[in-house]
Amino acid sequence: MSPGITRRRLLRTALRGSLGGAAVTVGLPFLDIFLNSNGDALAATGAPLPRRFGTWFFGCGMNPPRWNPTKEGRDFDLPPELQPIAKVREHLSVLSGFSVILAGETNQVHRTGVIGTLCGGAPTTTTDNIGPTFDILISDAMGSTTRFRSLEMAATGVAKDSFSRRSESAVNPSETTPLSLYTRIFGPGFTDPNASEFTPDPKMLVRRSALSIVSDDRRNLEAKLGQSDRARLDEYFTALRQLEHQFDLQLSEPPPLEACSIPDRPNETPVSQDVAHVVANHELMTKVLALALACDQTRVFNMLFSDGASRLHSPGSSDNHHTLTHEEARDPELGYQPEATRFVMHGMEAWATFVQILASVPEGDGTLLDHCLVMAHSETSDANSHSVTGLPIMIAGRAGGRVRPGVHVRGAGDSTARVGLTLQQVMGLNISSWGSKANETSRSISEILA
């Protein structure tokens, strides 16, 4: 008898016997769900490979005449600022001309564009309680299947650089370094699905019962709170349940995953808004993320390359990307701001790298990217005027065969909510319309579907 089995017996005995009172009520569902009568963890289910959803954000947009393809359909052209994606064009579609419809609302600079795209409506005030972003809707619909509900990452190294939110009061903070991302996923608590032997750690059971003590106290606390504080307490308990679920997964043997391998531990890297650091950290984080997805640690992610009002910066310059978009003179011959545009190119190159990395992981009959759906987006088109008209959007991956990449669709001023609606539908949400007020739509973008 292996030590693993002995321990498992011990665990089960403990669950049945002595974790009495409050704790046992949380122990039992775990027993029912995850272990069969032989005490083995459930074997691989043979279910189809999971579909994943992600967003990829870059700040301060692009120069519309140099970015928007002129030809629609499958043989679209790649204008100068889309040249970096030439090597991955087979994997993605370009959506141009989709806008956040203001309909009288103030364009809140560097906020309206991104909130509008992710929440399906233009915010009305600067403190509008806006949310959820649609990545949350997708992860809710998926349910708690993976260890992490979602993963947020910022190549800028700033935890606050994140748009993913259940509400204004629950903005998911970003992981800020490749190492912290690696440690969170592949550090303590990671169970290798392909390990020959599984040994659950009884300490996890103890930690899990600490969570149930807190759950038991919920009603007493709720009675003291007003309505909005109760909503915040709900958010707290949503978070707590996710961790309970995470512990349950750590206590049960995971099904083997062919595509899963553990990445090398990244070294400590310099973190700053220096564009060279951001590009390097973005690539390292993407490599960790790709294997986190292949190991089914999460099915939803949000990667931020540069923040809205991007503070990316080149050494020696008095300006950053954002200030350049407003203050650099347009080169009269070129017709655009050359320094600011360099940052656009960095962004597009990083996006191409991101797509390439996901496409480099074999999974099933194809690649990891084939089972992903990723939306790249920005908060402006022309950053100089903070325009939210014709926002740059790209869709990568095949979502397990539901999406056919390689097309340019022109939105002709339609709301970006059409994009959000379509992607939610692709990810399996049973909705026929989405968005609020002038941005509400029931028209999905059929051109990108398989």
Partner 1 sequence: MLHSFWPVRIVAITALLGLGCGSSSPPEAMGGPVAMRRLTAAQYRQAIVDAFGPEIEIVGRFEPDNRREGLIAVGSAFVAVTPSGFEQYEAMGNYIAKQVVSEVHRDRLVPCQPRSRTEPDAACTEAFLQRIGPGLLRRPLVDGDVQTRVTAAAAATELMGDFYAGLELAVTSLLIAPDFLFRVEVAEAGPGFADGLRLTDISLASRLSYLLWNAGPDAALLEVAARSGLSDPDSLGREVDRLLASSRLEDGVRAFFEDVFRFDEFEDIGKDPIRYPAYSAQVALDAREQTLRVVVDHLIARKAAYRDLFTTRRSFMTRALGPVYVVPVRAEEGWEALDFATDHPRAGLLSHASFNMLNAHSGRSSPTLRGVFLRGALLCQKVPPAPADVDFSLFNEDDNPKYKTARDRLAVHSSNATCRNCHKLTDPIGLGLEVFDGIGRHRSTENGAPIDTSGDLDGRAFADSVDLGRAFRDSPLIGACLVENVYRYAVGRDPVKSERRQLRYLEGRFEDSGQRLHALLRDVAMSDGFRTATRPRRDPAVEEPAPRVAALPAEKEAT
CB closer to partner 1, 202 vs 362: 202
Q: Which of 373, 370, 391, 371 is nearest to 381 (CA)?
A: 391
- Please work out, in degrees rounded to the nearest 5, the angle formed at the alpha carbon of residue 15 by the alpha carbons of 248 and 39: 70
Q: Which window, 151-159, 190-198, 405-413, 424-432, contacts partner 1 (CB under 8 A)?
A: 151-159
Question: Can you list the pairs that 273-277 forms with residues at least 24 positions away whose Cβ atoms lie under 8 Å?
Answer: 273/156, 273/157, 273/311, 273/312, 273/313, 273/320, 274/313, 274/314, 274/315, 275/312, 275/313, 275/314, 275/343, 275/346, 276/315, 277/157
Give the three-state DSSP class for 31: helix
Peptide bond into 80 cis (omega under 30): no
CB of 266 to partner 1, least distance (A): 17
CB of 383 to partner 1, least distance (A): 10
- 170 forms part of the interface with partner 1 (CB under 8 A): yes
Question: Which residues have C-beta within 8 Å of that of residue 286, sequence separation ≥ 6?
Answer: 303, 353, 354, 357, 358
Identify the residue among 8, 166, 408, 418 touching partner 1 (CB under 8 A): 166
Which amino acid is located at 281 in the chain? N
Identify the residue among 5, 158, 262, 449 touching partner 1 (CB under 8 A): 158
- 7 forms part of the interface with partner 1 (CB under 8 A): no
CB of 169 to partner 1, least distance (A): 4
- 143 forms part of the interface with partner 1 (CB under 8 A): no
**Binding mask 250-279 vs partner 1 (x if CB under 8 A, - otherwise)?**
----------------------xxx-----
CB of 144 to partner 1, least distance (A): 10
Identify the residue among 8, 89, 91, 149 touching partner 1 (CB under 8 A): 149
Residues in region 40-79 near partner 1 by CB under 8 A: none
Q: Are 337 and 61 in contact (CB under 8 A)?
A: no
CB closer to partner 1, 5 vs 239: 239
CB closer to partner 1, 126 vs 267: 126
Helix axis angle, 202-216 relative to 21-34, nearest 10°?
Answer: 120
Site size for partner 1, by CB under 8 A?
Answer: 91
Please count the CA atoms within 13 angstroms of the CA of 251 that sit on its side-chain side: 30
CB of 377 to partner 1, least distance (A): 18
Helix (H) or strand (E) holding 377: strand 372-377
Residues in region 93-112 near partner 1 by CB under 8 A: 106-109, 112
Identify the residue among 21, 73, 335, 362 touching partner 1 (CB under 8 A): 21
CB closer to partner 1, 242 vs 356: 242
CA distance 143 to 109: 34
Q: Which window, 254-262, 287-295, 310-318, 344-352, contacts partner 1 (CB under 8 A)?
A: 310-318
Q: Which window, 86-94, 191-199, 323-331, 390-398, contacts partner 1 (CB under 8 A)?
A: 323-331
Q: Are 373 and 93 in contact (CB under 8 A)?
A: no
Residues in region 174-233 near partner 1 by CB under 8 A: 180, 184, 202-203, 205-207, 209-214, 216-217, 220-221, 224-229, 231-233
Straight-line distance from the first to the last Cα atom of the chain, in angstroms, rounded to the nearest whole number = 51
Q: Which window, 86-94, 148-156, 261-269, 285-293, contacts partner 1 (CB under 8 A)?
A: 148-156
In terms of phi and psi (left: phi > 0; alpha: psi -120 to 50; beta: otherwise), the region of 21 is left
CB of 80 to partner 1, least distance (A): 21
- 22 forms part of the interface with partner 1 (CB under 8 A): yes
Identify the residue among 3, 18, 197, 268 touching partner 1 (CB under 8 A): 18
Q: Which window, 61-69, 384-392, 412-420, 423-431, contacts partner 1 (CB under 8 A)?
A: 384-392
State the DSSP string of 98-123.
Answer: EB---TT----TTTHHHHHHHHSS--
Backbone angles phi, psi at 394, to 5 degrees: -135, 145
CB of 189 to partner 1, least distance (A): 9
CB of 365 to partner 1, least distance (A): 33
- 379 forms part of the interface with partner 1 (CB under 8 A): no
CB of 269 to partner 1, least distance (A): 15
- 416 forms part of the interface with partner 1 (CB under 8 A): no
Residues in region 389-408 near partner 1 by CB under 8 A: none
Helix then strand then coil, in percent of the chain rounded to 5, is 40, 15, 45
CA–CA distances in Å: residue 274 to residues 71, 157, 278, 383, 429: 35, 11, 6, 20, 39
Tokens 């748009």 correspond to: 163
CA–CA distances in Å: residue 68 to residues 62, 77, 95, 310, 392: 9, 9, 9, 21, 8
- 167 forms part of the interface with partner 1 (CB under 8 A): yes
Identify the residue among 90, 258, 264, 327 touching partner 1 (CB under 8 A): 327
Q: What is the DSSP letter of 413?
A: T
